[in-house]
Amino acid sequence: MKTIIYTLFLILASGIAGCGSPAVSNDSAASNGVMTLPEDGQGEEVYTLDGEWEFYWQRFVSPSEVFGSGTDALHVQTPSAWSDIQTKGGTLPDKGYGTYHLEMELPENLADDTAGIYIPEIATAYTLWVDQKVLAENGKPGVNRSSMEPEHHPQTAYFKPESDAIDLVLQVSEYYQRKSGWWDSFYIGSAEDIQSMRDYNISREVFLVVSLLVMGLYHFGIFVLRPSDRAPLFFGGLCLAVAVRTLLLGEVLFLRFFAGVPWEWMLKFEYWSSCLGIVCAMLFIYTQYKNDMNILIRNSFLTIFSLMALGILVTPALIFTEGMLYLQSAAVLGLVYINIVLWTALVRRRKGALAHTAATFILLVFVVNDTLHYNHVINTGETVSIGVFVYLFAQSFILASRFTSALTQSRQLSDRLEKANQTLEDKVERRTRKLSETNQELEDANHRLERMYRARQELMSNISHELGTPMTSIQGYIKGMLDGVVDRGDPTYLKLVYNKTLLLQKITDDLRELAKLESGGITYTFEERNMRDYVETIYFIYKEEIERKGISFTWEDHLPPERNGVVSIDPIRMEQVLSNLLLNARKFTPAGGTVTLVVQENESRDSIIIAVRDDGPGIEEEELPNVFKRFFRGGANVVKTEEGVGLGLAISAEIVRSHGGEVGVESRKGEGSLFYFLLPVSGIKSINHTEE
């Protein structure tokens, strides 16, 4: 994926470098101040004006005089600085003034049309005439420093040739900086081609500047958001420095945005941008490969460039441009050192070093390309700015991939943490559940224990209270016999005593059972039973016994036909309940009365109601709340012959409650009673008390 992106980017970069600009021809060169452009041009072509121009050193020759004063003219190779021009007396100095002259034979297509001329940066002021008319100016040339005004930036000019032969006269002066003359080519072509060449240069530079600014600002933004990582800060600084340099060089786009800035300050900015660029590059590389860079060497470079930046600030252009050589040498040394660091990082297999070196290699390819171009081996135009851009773009890509991998790592970590948390939560939840289950069990056991304890207490107090009466009777009878008040062995008394012991037996049995029921010491065996069938079976079991007393006994099934009323019950315990209710009804209903067993649903259809109705004496209203309490034996309606213990209903209520149901009674004195209980249709399946 990364390789594809790199390749695409290289294609884009080479596109920016090469196409869109008209073809440049430098087949013909000027010689002895005369240049003849070939006729066989293909149309869309511009020509360089490189070659030998006539040059009058330390003379401003006017266009009208130029033909008559040819004797003392030098023939100098262009483009070149004055210090490279050889004369009999050695090379020329960089400070001075002079006049260039070139006669040109134009091809037909140019002579007939409006022609354009691209004038490169010329140090440091000039006036250009074509056929004795001023065509372009930059600053004001003069014979000494005070009479000239420096300015140098490339420009284009257009003119209509009067014939196919034209005459260029160029007065130049330089007293303000190190370099003199010009070092890029002049170009001539049709106005259209020259314009499109310039447009192309401008758009290429705008593209580079905007891209670099965006990259720079983006990385500054990242730094602001995450100041602990300083790599984006230095990288952003590097992008910004290159952007400023691009603005100040080439077509000097800077002037379009900040028109009134003095020439000298623009030069200062240009030099500063170089210093800043190297400082940022050095620091950026340091953030990437801390262990591969010598901190002492790094600091030495930083000090040198800081001092240079200060020097540029406080000295005039004349001085600080002289220092250009030192700046360049220091920059080259700095770059060499950066490369050493990179190779070390590569050898030590540092992360990202390979990509970094590859990007540097690409930059090198562009540098070699430009060297070949300037030596006229190939003709591709200046591309190093593209190389720098490719390099920076690759760096920004490397940085971005570093961020992304950090992000991915943190995402993976947080995923793992989340998973671990989840597992932990699950574990905690499981443990908590288990703990609360154990707690619940403990609580239940406590409750059971407490209930058992209370049941025992109650049993003890009931026993002492309830057993008291029959025991006293038995004691009385036996004492009577012992005292001779009653005949010993009198069967009537003995039977009375015997009956009392039976009652005692029943009381203790019932009490024990109730205590067990209440304390949960009884095991229920639940099964699903159809209540219609179950109640019918009970009806037939007790039918004979009840009817024997002359009572009419019936059963009513009010369950809807489609419903069976399936309930979970312990059939034996449930029979105990029903038997108690039915036998009570039998006991309290006089002969000729009616007892009815009823089965039906409640209104919400979630419970089955089983009821026993009789038309016996009924129960006093105020006694109704006590009917199901232990040892309730009623008041007026107690059938004395069939003395009860008063525990049957309490036992029944307990059994029904253990089935998740509830008991109730409706009665009016003299109008019979209705004893009933409800059982939930869903049933109770999990009650399982252990027998003590």
**Is residue 614 within 8 Å of residue 585, measured between CB atoms?**
yes
Query: Is the Cβ of residue 54 or residue 575 nearer to ligand ADP in the bound state?
Result: 575
* Non-local CB neighbours of 15 within 8 Å, separated by 6+ positions: none
Tokens representing residue 283 in the block: 């620091």
Give the footprint of ligand ADP on residues 577-596 (CB under 6 A). Answer: 580, 584-585, 588
182 part of the interface to ligand ADP, by CB under 6 A:
no
674 part of the interface to ligand ADP, by CB under 6 A:
no
Q: How many residues does the chain have?
A: 692
Burial, 579: exposed, middle or buried (Cβ in 10 Å; 0-12, 13-18, 19+)?
middle
Burial, 250: exposed, middle or buried (Cβ in 10 Å; 0-12, 13-18, 19+)?
buried
627 part of the interface to ligand ADP, by CB under 6 A:
yes
Among 216, 237, 648, 661, binds ligand ADP (CB under 6 A): 648
* Nearest residue to 166 via CA among 16, 283, 49: 49
Q: How far is the CB of 643 from ligand ADP (least distance, A)?
A: 7
Among 673, 678, 681, 683, binds ligand ADP (CB under 6 A): 673
614 part of the interface to ligand ADP, by CB under 6 A:
yes
664 part of the interface to ligand ADP, by CB under 6 A:
no
Query: Is the Cβ of residue 216 or residue 648 nearer to ligand ADP in the bound state?
Result: 648
**Is residue 559 within 8 Å of residue 599, measured between CB atoms?**
yes
644 part of the interface to ligand ADP, by CB under 6 A:
yes
645 part of the interface to ligand ADP, by CB under 6 A:
yes
504 part of the interface to ligand ADP, by CB under 6 A:
no
Query: Is the Cβ of residue 575 or residue 614 nearer to ligand ADP in the bound state?
Result: 614
Rounded Cα distance, 278 and 338, in Å: 10
Q: How far is the CB of 669 from ligand ADP (least distance, A)?
A: 10
Q: How far is the CB of 525 from ligand ADP (least distance, A)?
A: 24
Q: How far is the CB of 451 from ligand ADP (least distance, A)?
A: 21
Q: How far is the CB of 512 from ligand ADP (least distance, A)?
A: 15
Q: How many binding residues for ligand ADP (CB under 6 A)?
A: 21
SS3 per residue for 277-301? HHHHHHHHHHHHCHHHCCHHHHHHH
507 part of the interface to ligand ADP, by CB under 6 A:
no
Q: How far is the CB of 543 from ligand ADP (least distance, A)?
A: 17
User: How is the chain split among helix, strand and coil, in percent rounded to 5?
Assistant: 55, 20, 30
Rounded Cα distance, 318 and 124, in Å: 11
Instruction: Classify the C-alpha dihedral 82-87-93-95 as positive or negative.
Output: negative
**Is residue 16 within 8 Å of residue 204, measured between CB atoms?**
yes
Rounded Cα distance, 315 and 176, in Å: 12
Rounded Cα distance, 503 and 57, in Å: 153
Among 51, 150, 181, 616, binds ligand ADP (CB under 6 A): 616
Query: Is the Cβ of residue 166 or residue 503 nearer to ligand ADP in the bound state?
Result: 503
Residue pointed to by tokens 């809807």: 560
Q: How far is the CB of 526 from ligand ADP (least distance, A)?
A: 25
Q: How far is the CB of 508 from ligand ADP (least distance, A)?
A: 14
346 part of the interface to ligand ADP, by CB under 6 A:
no
Residue nearest to ligand ADP (CB): 644
Q: How far is the CB of 673 from ligand ADP (least distance, A)?
A: 4
Question: Which chain residues interact with ligand ADP by CB under 6 A?
Answer: 580, 584-585, 588, 614, 616-617, 619, 627, 632-634, 637-638, 644-649, 673
